[in-house]
């Protein structure tokens, strides 16, 4: 990172922390809370939608082997936007979700069992 960025961070009292290799899943609180929840919400919405589409066809008398869920990009863009807004609204209305990510990462704790010590004891992932 260039000096001007370091200066800008310092001026704004932002502490830069290097995340060691193989530790991002332990040390990135938003991956542990917000991002996971967001992805889970999108998967759930898609699963519900696709099950509903299949049910509609079966109820209309379509044979199981003939069921096909049409997913043109024009439809999926609109639906994924709606689902993303819904997931965002859920996260925004529950501020503890972000706080819990920091708790899960245990990056505010020091000593045995903290993310820092767990990282050191982890073996590198196979490349």
Q: pLDDT tens across 84-93, in order?
A: 999 999 999 9
The C-alpha atoms of residue 113 and residue 110 are separated, in whole angstroms, by 8
The C-alpha atoms of residue 45 and residue 83 are separated, in whole angstroms, by 7
Among 29, 30, 20, CA closest to 105: 29
What SS3 state is found at 84? helix
Distances, alpha carbon 68 to alpha carbons 57, 75, 108, in Å: 8, 15, 50
Q: Give the chain's largest Cα–Cα span.
A: 67
Q: Average pLDDT in the 67-72 region?
A: 93
Confidence grade of residue 104 (pLDDT, cut at 50, 70, 90): confident
Q: Which residue has the tokens 């609109």?
A: 78
Q: Average pLDDT in the 24-30 region?
A: 78
Local structure of residue 122 (DSSP, 8 states): S
pTM over 0.75: no
pLDDT, position 109: 56
């Amino acid at each position: 990172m260039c000096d001007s960025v370091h200066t800008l961070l310092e001026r704004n009292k932002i502490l830069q922390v290097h995340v060691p290799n193989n530790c991002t899943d332990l040390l990135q609180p938003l991956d542990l809370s917000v991002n996971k929840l967001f992805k889970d919400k999108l998967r759930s919405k898609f699963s519900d939608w696709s099950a509903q589409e299949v049910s509609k066809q079966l109820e209309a008398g379509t044979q199981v082997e003939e069921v096909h869920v049409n997913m043109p990009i024009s439809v999926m863009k609109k639906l994924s936007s709606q689902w993303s807004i819904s997931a965002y609204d859920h996260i925004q209305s529950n501020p503890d979700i972000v706080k819990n990510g920091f708790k899960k990462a245990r990056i505010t704790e020091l000593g045995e069992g903290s993310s820092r010590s767990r990282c050191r004891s982890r073996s590198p992932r196979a490349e």
